[in-house]
A and B are shown apart, each in its own frame.
Chain A
Amino acid sequence: MTFIPGLGIVKGMGLTLRRFFEPKATIKYPEVKPDIPHKFRGRLQLLYDEYGALKCETCFQCAQACPIECIDMGGIDTKGRFHVHWGAPETYGERREESALRRSGRTVPDPAYAHFEGIDPDPVDGILEEYDYDPKRMLQILEATQAAYGHLPVAALKRISHATGAWYAMIYGTASYYNHLRFERPEDNRQAAELAERRPTERTFLTGLDAALAGGPRDGAQKTLGAKPN
């Protein structure tokens, strides 16, 4: 592109002129009020004082005033004696606990870096070799791994992820979806056998259907969970 003297200033002034004739966004605030939804309370922000400490003294006034109850909070009371929190205990329990820790200045444990149990890698390596490190055969790999270890240890999942190239989160999601796969060591043999034999909800359904057809009063489908199928 050739250099044309004055082109830059023409471009710049062009922008200025265009903006000059556009409708203005400024309003004369106290006289004119902006059109804002009546529940709007502006941006929620925790402010810091000049020493870098949070100014919030956890008085919960904002949480009480919040019309849609979106504020849940936790922290240490002003004398630093005990932990206080606001919010329905059954909602966002995990998140609130974590954010309460964070706001009270303590370290938040990160599950991703939590210690996991070591395993003997030979069985899982053999399984991966057998299935050709193929992420398309992930279900078979996971089922074989569970058969070898009794459950799916974190270390084995990490190894599978590393070897197949599938993301750990994807493997975890797949394994958590299917009911026959489990991450915990079966606590006792009876439960493991029950899990392996037939999925609990299917049995609940079958025994529940029997009970519903036969009439008899019952307290609910869940009660029949422990019953043996005929």
Chain B
Amino acid sequence: MTDTTETAAGIRIRPLDELDISDIVAIDEAISGRYRPEVWERRISYYLRRAPESSVVAEVDGKVAGFMLGEVRSGEFGLEEPTGWIEVLGVDPRQQGKALGRRMAEAILEYFREQGAHSVRTLVDEQREDLRSFFESLGFEPSGLRPFAKRL
């Protein structure tokens, strides 16, 4: 009983809910090889608390096959204007090639626009060429905001 978008035969994009935890844990495990239910219980609680519609899952034939978590925030890193952030995404390796990532991104970007965001940002590991090309295909460009890090 949620607002869903049927984007192609058998594929639905809908807002995240608390019953997606198990499926997201399984997708993460399939990608990373690590079983981390506690991490996702906490993380999904966070996104549901903040803005449940700003995170989505993709269903293929009624089973969750991908997820994209994000939200609109203001005031981060000196960015005063409302900015959409895509923070985590994952697609079941067995379901890749169905443009699930693109379909989820389109839904989430539409929601960010509705929330008044004029830009959307994310951080991508330079080693992850697949992620970089994915975001470039969506129109993302390198930003003037550069990440800095220091090991402690």
Do A and B associate with each other? no
B interface residues with partner A (beta carbon < 8 Å): none
